[in-house]
A and B are shown apart, each in its own frame.
Chain A
Amino acid sequence: MSQQTIDPAKTALNYHHTAEAAAHHEEHPDYRLFGLIVFLIAEGMIFMGLFGAYLAFRSTLPAWPPEGTPELELLLPGINTINLISSSFVIHNADTAIKKNNVRGMQMWFAITAVMGIIFLAGQMYEYYHLEFGLTTNLFASAFFVLTGFHGLHVTIGVLAILAVLWRSLKPGHYSKEKHFGIEAAEIYWHFVDVIWIILFGLLYIL
C-alpha cells in the first residue's frame, strides 16, 4: 500500500559512481572523520590489550625486568621521543597551511614530518641492533620487542600515509581549503601514533 516513486534508471549497478551518489555523500561531510576516530578507538584497544598484558606479566614476576637483563640505554630512545613529539607539532602546521590554501607549505611540513618519522624508525633499528638481548631472552625482552615493534609498524604505516598524501598533492587542485580530508586523516593518525608512543615509553623505559 505504501510505496514510492521508482526511477527504473536507478537499477544501474554502477549507481555508486554517479554524481548524484557523490552528492549524497557530500551531504554528510563529517562522517569520514567520525569513521577515522572510531577506527582509532579500535586500534587503541589493541594497544590497551598489549599494555594490559605487559602489566600483568610484570605483576606476576618477582623482579622486573627479570634478573640479568641488561639496562636499557635512555639517551637514544629519549632523543627519538623528543623527535616524535615535535613531529606532531610539525604536522599540525600542514593543517594550518592547507586551511590557508597554501599547498606548498602543506607539502613542506608533510615532507619534514615524513623525514622525522623515518629518522625515528632508523633510530629504533639502531637501538634494536645494539641491544644486548634478543626476542627470546626473557619475558621482558619479548614484550619489549613486540610492543615497540608493533608501534614501529604503526609509524611505518603513518609514514606511508603521509607519503601517499604528498603524492596525491602533486596533482594541482587535489587538496584545497575546502577539501582536505586526506591531510586531516594523516595528521590525526600521526597524533595517535605519537600518543601511543608516549604511553609506551613511560611503560617500558621509565616505570
Chain B
Amino acid sequence: MNDDPGTDPGTLRGIRTRVLVLVLATAVLATVAVVYTVRAADRADRRERTAPGQPTARAGAVDLRQSGRLLFRNLAWGPERDHVSSVALAAPSASRTAAPRTCLRFHAAAGTGICLRRKSGVIAGHEAVLLDAGLRPVRRFPLPGVPTRARVSPSGRLVAWTVFVSGDSYAGGDFSTRTAVYDTRTGTLHASLEEFTVVKDGRRDRAADHNFWGVTFTADDRHFYATLATAGRTYLVKGNLARRSVRTLRTNAECPSLSPDGTRVAFKKRVRGLPAEAPWRLHVLDLATGRETALAERGSVDDQALWLDDRTLLYALPGDFGADLWSVRADGGGSPRMFLKSAVSPAVVAG
C-alpha cells in the first residue's frame, strides 16, 4: 500500500506528505461526522412537530381507570410523541389525548400502570416506573438493559417487565433477556425469573442458558404464563409465584397473552419455511383442548399480542412512523385490519 518507491517512507518529505494527507482526511471525516450529526439533530427536532397525514394528539389528562378507552404509546410526530395517550375504543381514529409521561413500553390494568423508560442523561440507562391511576410515579426500578415487554395483571396487583441484556461481546450477536415480577401488594420483587425452579418435561432443569420473556398473568394473581428459551428452543411455561417455579407446557410458543376469559393463549410461533429472522406467525392455543389455531395475519409478528376482547387480538407491525396497531379475529377467520396508526404498547381499559 505505501511501498510506492515514489514516497520513500524514510525521508522527511515522505512523512510530511503522509501527515498532511492524514490531517486533511481527518478534517474531512470530522466535518462529515459533525454535519451529519447536526442535520440528524434537526431531523429529530422535526419529529417534535406535527406532520401532515398523521393522527393528531392533544395534551390532556389520562386516567388509568377511565373505562372504554385504549391506552398506548403515541408514535405520531409532534410534541406528544412517545407520550402515554388514550382514545375511545369506539372511535380509535379520533384525536388522541396525551399525558405528559413518556414511555418506551407501557401497560396498564385496573388503575396500575408500568412504564419502561429511558433515564435522562449522557450515560444510557433505563428504568421501570410503577404508576398510579393518575400516571404518577409510585416506585422506580433500575433496569439492566433495553426494555422490550411490560404487563400488568388484570387486577392491577402484579406487574412484569422484560429487558434485553447484552454482554460485552463484539458485534453484539449475543443477547439475553431478564424478566422481573413485582407484587404491588406485598412489595415483593422477583428480580429475575431465572432464579425460579424450572421443571422441563416433568424433570428439574438446571441449564445455565435459561432466558425468560413475555409474562402474562392469570386472574388469580398467583400464576402466569411466559416464554422460556433454553438449548435453542422456546417453551410456553406456566409459573407459580408462591412456589417460585415454572413448568413447561409445550414447545415453540413465544410471547404468550392470556385471553380475558382465561381459556386461550395467543402467542407467536416459529413456522418452518419462513426466513430465520422473521419466522413468527400469530396463533391461538386453547388451553383445555391443546388445539392451535393459526390466525389470518400473514406477516411475521414480533410482538406480544393483546386481547382487545375475547374475540379480537391487537398487535404491532412496523409502520411509517415506527409501528401501527392491527387487529385480527382470534378464531382464525376474517382478515387483519389497521386499528390505530403510529402506536405501540396498547392496554385496554374495558367498559
Pair from one complex: no
Interface residues of B (CB under 8 A from A): none
